[in-house]
């Protein structure tokens, strides 16, 4: 597996490097540590001096992350590039044919939230390669990993399953496959539901039964695909708002990673669906976006 780890020298980037040490990489795997020296759109002596300082610091930034990765068995190399960070990260990932881009969720200064910074968000939205965005963990994580895979059975979800099978998770990793069954009446507030007549209620009940049956089939098909890669797999079906249910379940499971497809769980067109955007923005744990 070939991984591109993008670092800016922040504690979030070094946290991403530390998160990678939890995987069972082999000498056949490769991790490229990339630091992008951002373009400065000014051509004067003052900014030239700043650029000179940045270039002196860049090797230290790269070596800091490379040193964190010393315990892994993968081949680790460093790379410095000039350009706009988001587009350069994507370009390098494509040119090196990386299997996965890994980034730390460097948030917005002074704002205590789980909102991610503009570069990370841009890469997650626009990258044609899968992206793993790590989050600061409040406590030291144990050796075992819990993965929550939210799937709707789409091609986007299949792509996410494929990247999950290629990642060298620890042997005792536990995978929970989750499908959220969406209902046409889910947007009706509960206090107004009494206005639905009995005939419609019967139709809703039948529709829900069909939705949950489809959900179970999606989970079972996904289990079959992932069974060779994970020793312990659980399945769970929920009804309601996908992003809310997924984030709640991640809290309950104390998930180490939420994996989801780039189009969200409702087949929304676009490079990153609304469900995936909300999960990426508000999850307390790392998020893997399949492409």
Q: How confident is the model over 100-138, as pLDDT tens digits?
A: 999 998 654 444 444 567 899 899 989 999 999 998 865
The answer on 146 and 279 residing in a single domain is yes
Distance CA 17, CA 101 (A): 12
Which of 136, 162, 178 terminates a domain? The answer is 136
List of the chain residues with pLDDT < 70: 40-44, 46-48, 50, 52, 106-116, 137-143, 182-205, 207, 264-272
pLDDT of residue 74: 97
The answer on 189 and 79 residing in a single domain is no
Tens of pLDDT, residues 58-109: 999 999 999 999 999 999 999 999 999 999 999 999 999 999 999 998 654 4
Q: Which domain CATH number covers 208?
A: 3.40.50.620
Model-level pTM?
0.84
The secondary structure of 219-251 as a DSSP string is: HHHHHHHHTTT-SEEEEEEEES-HHHHHHHHHH
Number of domain units in the chain: 2
The answer on 227 and 247 residing in a single domain is yes
Query: In terms of residue numbers, what domain contains 114?
Result: 1-136
The answer on 268 and 162 residing in a single domain is yes
Helix (H, G, I), strand (E, B) or coil at 283: coil
The answer on 180 and 110 residing in a single domain is no
**How far from 196 is each of 189, 200, 203, 204, CA to CA, in Å?**
11, 6, 11, 10
Which of 100, 118, 136 terminates a domain? The answer is 136
Which of 89, 111, 136 terminates a domain? The answer is 136
- Continuous segment of H or E residues that includes residue 277: helix 274-282
The answer on 223 and 248 residing in a single domain is yes
């Amino acid at each position: 597996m070939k991984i591109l780890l993008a670092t800016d020298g922040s504690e979030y980037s070094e946290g991403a490097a530390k998160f990678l040490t939890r995987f069972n990489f082999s000498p056949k795997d490769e991790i490229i540590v990339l630091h992008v020296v951002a373009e400065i759109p000014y051509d004067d002596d003052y900014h030239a001096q700043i650029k000179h300082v940045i270039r002196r610091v860049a090797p230290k930034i790269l070596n800091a992350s490379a040193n964190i990765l010393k315990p892994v068995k993968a081949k680790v190399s460093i790379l410095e590039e000039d350009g706009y960070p988001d587009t350069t990260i994507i370009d390098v990932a494509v040119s090196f044919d990386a299997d996965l881009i890994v980034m730390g969720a460097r948030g917005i200064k002074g704002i205590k939230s789980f909102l991610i910074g503009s570069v990370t968000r841009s890469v997650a939205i626009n990258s044609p390669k899968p992206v793993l965005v790590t989050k600061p963990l409040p406590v030291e994580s144990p050796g075992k990993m819990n993965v929550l895979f939210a799937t709707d059975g789409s091609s986007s979800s299949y792509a996410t399953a494929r990247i999950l099978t290629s990642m060298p998770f620890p042997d005792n990793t536990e995978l929970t496959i989750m499908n959220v069954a969406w209902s046409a009446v889910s947007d009706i507030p509960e206090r107004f539901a009494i206005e639905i007549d009995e005939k419609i209620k019967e139709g809703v009940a039948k529709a829900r039964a069909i939705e949950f049956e489809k959900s179970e089939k999606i989970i079972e098909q996904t289990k079959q695909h992932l069974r060779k890669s994970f020793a312990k797999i659980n399945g769970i079906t929920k009804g309601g708002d996908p992003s809310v249910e997924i984030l709640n379940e991640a809290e309950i499971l104390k998930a180490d990673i939420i994996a989801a497809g780039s189009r969200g769980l409702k087949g929304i067109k676009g490079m990153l669906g609304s469900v995936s955007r909300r999960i990426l923005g508000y999850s307390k744990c790392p998020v893997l976006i399949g492409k």
